[in-house]
Structure 1
Amino acid sequence: MEREDARSTEGLLPNHDGAELMDELIQQVDAVGGFQKLFNGLFNFCAVAVGVTSVYTLVLAMEVPDHWCYVPGRASTNFNPSEWKNLTLPRGRGSEENNAYSKCEMYNLTGPMIWARNTSGVNVTSCQYGWEYDRRWFSRTVPSQENWVCDKSLYVTNTFVATQIGEAVGTISFGHMSDTIGRRPVFLLALTLLIVGRGLSVVAAPHYYLYLVTVFIGHSSLSSLCFAATTTGIELSSAESRARVVMLQSLGWTGGMCLVPLVAWLTGDWVSFVLLPLFPAVAILICAQSLFPESPRWLASGGKILRCMRSLRYIARINKQLLPASAEDTLRNFAEQSKGVVYGPASFMSSVRLATNTVLLVICWMLNAASYIILLLNVNNMSGNPYYNFFWQSAVEFPAGFAAKWLSDRLGRRSTHTVTFLVVGVSCFGVTRIVNKPSLHDLSTAVVIFIKFCITITNFVCYLQAMEIFPTCLRQTGMSFANLAGNVASVLAPYVVYLGSHLNQKYPYIVLGSMASLGTIATAFLPETLNRKLPDNIKDAKYFGLNQKFWSFFQEASADPQRMRVN
């Protein structure tokens, strides 16, 4: 271990800008040390995976199994279930397809008429005695438990609307809180709300409006939990490690999505597979009390020097390093440049450069979010095993995460984002030529999986660019605002899927291809962030990327405002 006095002035030059001062101080306590590995493994992988599993079990919990009217009396006959259905249920009425049995209507029959096996001219009525459900895949879901079918089918749709509203409200509220009260309290509060909301939903299901409230609470915190953990991880890491932190979070997200069908398959009962992931969530919440420090970069930018010193000493002790003697002076210099100001959302419009980057990032985020949800919901048009369908849609994100990390570190963030969007557009317009041809079903399925692969890459890079372009004082607020815009755009996704299921299967891909074309243009004008210093304040953000050439892959790392003025 080096002596403290030998390191007291190493690399901490008074004429460095705020970003460089903080980056070099983080390096002094080891930006790739054991603490960072523990933090990112526990909170950017495990916590994200557990949070995603806890939240997205709702998708399978709200599964509406095949159902039909229950007509009493079969027990006293020798009819098998198929024969009983044929006698008591009409076929092919209303929106029922393929001459299937009605899900919401039954013959208004009396005993003698059933025995006569004569249903001609018999009146049809709505289900009078409840419903029977196909329990091949699930022993119980929320709709089958509470009979949210037929005239109550909108209950399921309204539940998913509540999740979108909850996520939108939660991300913008918690995001601004994270930039004002800190990353740590927001993480702890978000995880607590997730546990409470998902836990209470189990007992609230019989009371519909109370259930909507619990769903709202449980979904209001996931994005903020992920943002708080990933933002802190990035702010504690070197420039070379930032993509690795985002990749780890992406793998945690994908792992959590893959665990959803596994947990549901193991239990088959919605109460069990909703409660099961909450146990590791509670364990992570307990660990976070001592292992999730406040971000030193956020503390310093707000002028909280003493708390920042305590946080840095804690990290240095775990990494077996010593702080330089000039650390406090460096922090005060950094705080002076940051001015300790709490910035509001209007600060995004404080300069042309920051406003342009913000608008482009928000557009890209909306396109990525809506594309992801369209592809995810379009799986509902698939027949077969719901566990397999959900799993393979999620599993494709694993190789995509590694590919996104590799490409963004070698081709750059901007080039990877732009080219991948271009590939998505070409693929979507191409699949419209074959999606309606049954003989090419396997080929069209493979192309759609490839599109999901590419959309996962664009989501990864968009998330990484937002982390690196928004300044520290506005990073969480900016991420939350972009995510809010993405949630609003995603509200339209079910209607796009509706076009495919009721009009023509190619319509969702035409919409996806058009959005990808817009994304190709928008991403091309974002600044390259590979190996560049993070902007810490409004001054840094005002010039960030201003000197970059448009037709270039790699940019020289610098956050010096004077040099950034050079075109």
Structure 2
Amino acid sequence: MQVVARERKNTMLEVNKILEKCGDCNRLQFLMLFLFSFINVLSAMHYYSQTIITFLPKYWCADGLASAEEAPSKSSCLPIDYNETSSDSCERYDYELYMGYESYASDMGWICDQAWKLTIGQSMFFVGSVVGTLLLGYLADRVGRLPILIVANVIAMGGNMLTIFGTTLPLFCLFRLISGFATDSNFVMMYILVMEYMRPSLRTVGLSICIGIFYCVGSMGAPWIAVLARTWRGFLIATSLPFALVPLFYFIVPESVQWLISKQEYEKAVACLKRVARINGRQVEESAYQEFIEECKFSQQHLKVAPNLLDLFKTPRLRRNTLILFFKSMVITLCYDAVSRNVQGLGISPFVMFTLSATTILPACLVIILLQDRIGRKAMASISLLLSGIFISVTGAILFAVASSAERSATLLVTLSVIGRFGITVAYNSAAQYATELIPTCVRGQGVGAVHVMGYAFTFFSAFILYTRTIFSPLPEIILGFISLLGAGLCLLLPETLHRTLPTSLEDGEKFGKNEKWYTFSFMEKRTQSVAALATQNSTMKSHSNSVDSAAYF
């Protein structure tokens, strides 16, 4: 019986047990949360730099227009005195800069018949994010999380600094592609490391507070850094230089113990744990480390070596869960991108609109803190998408109903945009932890990267969806609302991860949540499941109930 019980032990539980001895809520964890907060500020400014450097101010043709004359009320590519018999070409344009900020578009004159250049350059950022996230995610499962964290942030700094010299279309496209290459990996690697070293019961609270406060600060502060810098070049320099501090993380942040175990690098894993214990001021007997190594070796006797992303599609349940995660990421990222980019043309300064929109990040994270560990990951994902779908659909109906009211439309559009950003931010942030917990440790870097890539790739369609407004006013909201509701339904087919021992191997992933029903939620378990069913489902966890709080395991 002792052998059978030992065979059922999950490596995750062994790591959690030894980490508790080394300290899972102490100096190192608070230091890592501080560094994660710094990463959040950098990531926010890096992601939104794509929008801020391309702000398009009001412009008009200056041909034949005296400097003292009043500017037109709206942007125009045509000469002021244009008529059917005159020329529609313009040699020189004037701009009304927002708060004196000169963007790339106004500096390069990429407007009107040159506007396509800016669109192509912007698209290269997302092309880079797709390729970079996949490649860096693959490398993270080969060389480790910590090196890729550093490399990704150095690439982000290099791409933005090089963009300063991108004054031609080929160079602009190349440098924006390099900058986009780091997007997501520069954030998610630190996210994974912090989650692994945090006490399970504190992960949602700790991570959500860091994201809520500091990603919000970075997002709100980015446009005002641009105003202070006055030019897009100054903005890129100011937001890129802090990335130079990230390589110093190598001397503080330990490598992923779970990744080292999956690579059977047991001695290096113990070295990381000893480093954790030393920083936390804990004394751990050498015999505890040796016992940990022996238990890990025993649990991995029959594990497949070096699995890859494609292995997620070889078994039916893993394949289904992975595809649902892909679709959910597509829906959420598409809606998030469309809402966050909608800061111009609303009747107020895009800097003010950008700041107002970013204020929703903290309340959204607080909602996640209050609810996610109470109602469970599945309920949070499905309910947030359901409410987002309903809200987006209602927004379309309201916009259609008040389209003729010019005086009310600006205020209403701003209000709806801010509320819409709040709803989709809740869904976006809660989805990140859910995907990270569901994908087995052995392919987590590649899997999480692929999920995010599918989301980024789907943003290519946002422009086409928004363009359907020219066909029928509320059509974009109808499309976005429908796919949000569909995503909410598919989330019901995913297993719950709250209070579960998370999968380490592909075999664990295939069996994970096998007996769950689509209508079963974590907060309903005590009322909907028998004691025998709960005992069967959580048999592994009950043997470790004194050391496991189990909000999430890596």
TM more than 0.5: yes
Superposition deviation, residue 148 in structure 1 = 0.9
Give, in whole Å, the separation in 2 of the partners of 1:357 and 1:533: 17
SS of aligned partner of 2:344: helix
- The one-letter code matched in structure 1 to 2:32 is F
Q: 2:267 corresponds to which residue?
A: 306
Match of 2:179 among 218, 226, 251: 218
Q: Does the 8 Å CA contact 1:52/1:222 hold for their aligned counterparts?
A: no
Superposition deviation, residue 510 in structure 1 = 0.9
Match of 1:509 among 477, 488, 501: 477
Match of 1:124 among 62, 74, 87: 87
- The one-letter code matched in structure 2 to 1:540 is D
Aligned pair in 2 of structure 1 residues 215, 313: CA closer, same or farther (>3 Å)?
Answer: same
Superposition deviation, residue 142 in structure 1 = 1.0
Superposition deviation, residue 266 in structure 1 = 2.0
The unaligned stretches of length 5 or more in structure 2 are 526-533, 544-554
Q: 2:365 corresponds to which residue?
A: 401
Superposition deviation, residue 336 in structure 1 = 4.7
Q: 1:538 corresponds to which residue?
A: 506
Give, in whole Å, the separation in 2 of the partners of 1:29 and 1:120: 78
Aligned pair in 2 of structure 1 residues 458, 241: CA closer, same or farther (>3 Å)?
Answer: same
Give, in whole Å, the separation in 2 of the partners of 1:533 and 1:386: 46
Give, in whole Å, the separation in 1 of the partners of 2:342 and 2:539: 43
SS of aligned partner of 1:341: coil
- The one-letter code matched in structure 2 to 1:212 is C
Superposition deviation, residue 425 in structure 1 = 2.2
- The one-letter code matched in structure 1 to 2:27 is G
Q: Does the 8 Å CA contact 1:48/1:253 hold for their aligned counterparts?
A: yes
Q: 2:461 corresponds to which residue?
A: 492
Q: Which aligned pairs between 1:61-72 and structure 2 lie closer than 5 A?
A: 61-71=53-63
Give, in whole Å, the separation in 1 of the partners of 2:454 and 2:361: 23
Q: Does the 8 Å CA contact 1:365/1:486 hold for their aligned counterparts?
A: yes
Q: Tell me if 1:230 matches 2:227.
A: no
Q: Does the 8 Å CA contact 1:140/1:270 hold for their aligned counterparts?
A: yes
Q: Does the 8 Å CA contact 1:427/1:447 hold for their aligned counterparts?
A: no
Q: 1:93 corresponds to which residue?
A: none
Q: Does the 8 Å CA contact 2:63/2:79 hold for their aligned counterparts?
A: no
Q: 2:317 corresponds to which residue?
A: 353
- The one-letter code matched in structure 2 to 1:66 is K
Moved more, 527-536 or 471-480: 527-536
Match of 1:377 among 319, 324, 341: 341
* Offset from partner CA, 1:322-358 (integer Å, 9 cap, x none): 3342323323432453447221111102322211211
Match of 1:81 among 62, 69, 94: 69
Q: Does the 8 Å CA contact 2:385/2:427 hold for their aligned counterparts?
A: yes
What's the % identity of the aligned pairs? 20
Q: 1:113 corresponds to which residue?
A: none
Aligned pair in 2 of structure 1 residues 415, 431: CA closer, same or farther (>3 Å)?
Answer: same
Superposition deviation, residue 315 in structure 1 = 0.8
Q: Tell me if 1:137 matches 2:137.
A: no
Q: 1:427 corresponds to which residue?
A: 391
- The one-letter code matched in structure 2 to 1:457 is V
Moved more, 429-438 or 468-477: 429-438
SS of aligned partner of 2:284: coil
Aligned pair in 2 of structure 1 residues 332, 159: CA closer, same or farther (>3 Å)?
Answer: farther
Q: Does the 8 Å CA contact 1:432/1:509 hold for their aligned counterparts?
A: yes
Match of 2:295 among 325, 333, 339: 333
Superposition deviation, residue 13 in structure 1 = 6.9
RMSD: 2.6
SS of aligned partner of 1:126: coil
Superposition deviation, residue 162 in structure 1 = 0.5
Q: 1:529 corresponds to which residue?
A: 497
Q: Does the 8 Å CA contact 1:55/1:198 hold for their aligned counterparts?
A: no
- The one-letter code matched in structure 2 to 1:476 is G
Give, in whole Å, the separation in 2 of the partners of 1:478 and 1:221: 17
Aligned pair in 2 of structure 1 residues 147, 418: CA closer, same or farther (>3 Å)?
Answer: same
Q: 1:59 corresponds to which residue?
A: 51
Give, in whole Å, the separation in 1 of the partners of 2:304 and 2:251: 26
SS of aligned partner of 1:124: coil
TM-score (norm 1): 0.85
SS of aligned partner of 1:67: strand
Aligned pair in 2 of structure 1 residues 178, 106: CA closer, same or farther (>3 Å)?
Answer: same
Give, in whole Å, the separation in 2 of the partners of 1:24 and 1:435: 55
Q: Does the 8 Å CA contact 2:378/2:521 hold for their aligned counterparts?
A: no
Q: Does the 8 Å CA contact 2:127/2:177 hold for their aligned counterparts?
A: yes
Q: 2:144 corresponds to which residue?
A: 182
Give, in whole Å, the separation in 2 of the partners of 1:246 and 1:353: 29
Aligned pair in 2 of structure 1 residues 443, 277: CA closer, same or farther (>3 Å)?
Answer: closer
Aligned pair in 2 of structure 1 residues 388, 463: CA closer, same or farther (>3 Å)?
Answer: same
Q: 2:429 corresponds to which residue?
A: 460
Superposition deviation, residue 126 in structure 1 = 1.1
Q: Which aligned pairs between 1:7-406 and structure 2 lie closer than 5 A?
A: 16-42=9-35, 44-71=36-63, 74=66, 80-82=68-70, 102-105=76-79, 123-128=86-91, 130-204=92-166, 206-248=167-209, 250-251=211-212, 252-285=214-247, 287-324=248-285, 325-338=287-300, 339=303, 341-406=305-370
* Offset from partner CA, 1:155-188 (integer Å, 9 cap, x none): 1111211011011111111011111110011011
Q: Tell me if 1:471 matches 2:437.
A: no
SS of aligned partner of 1:132: strand
SS of aligned partner of 2:97: coil
Q: 1:6 corresponds to which residue?
A: none
TM-score (norm 2): 0.87
Give, in whole Å, the separation in 1 of the partners of 2:215 and 2:196: 20
SS of aligned partner of 1:68: strand
Q: Does the 8 Å CA contact 2:392/2:477 hold for their aligned counterparts?
A: yes
Q: Which aligned pairs between 1:542-553 and structure 2 lie closer than 5 A?
A: 542-549=510-517, 550-553=519-522
Q: Does the 8 Å CA contact 2:220/2:359 hold for their aligned counterparts?
A: yes
Larger Rg belongs to: 1
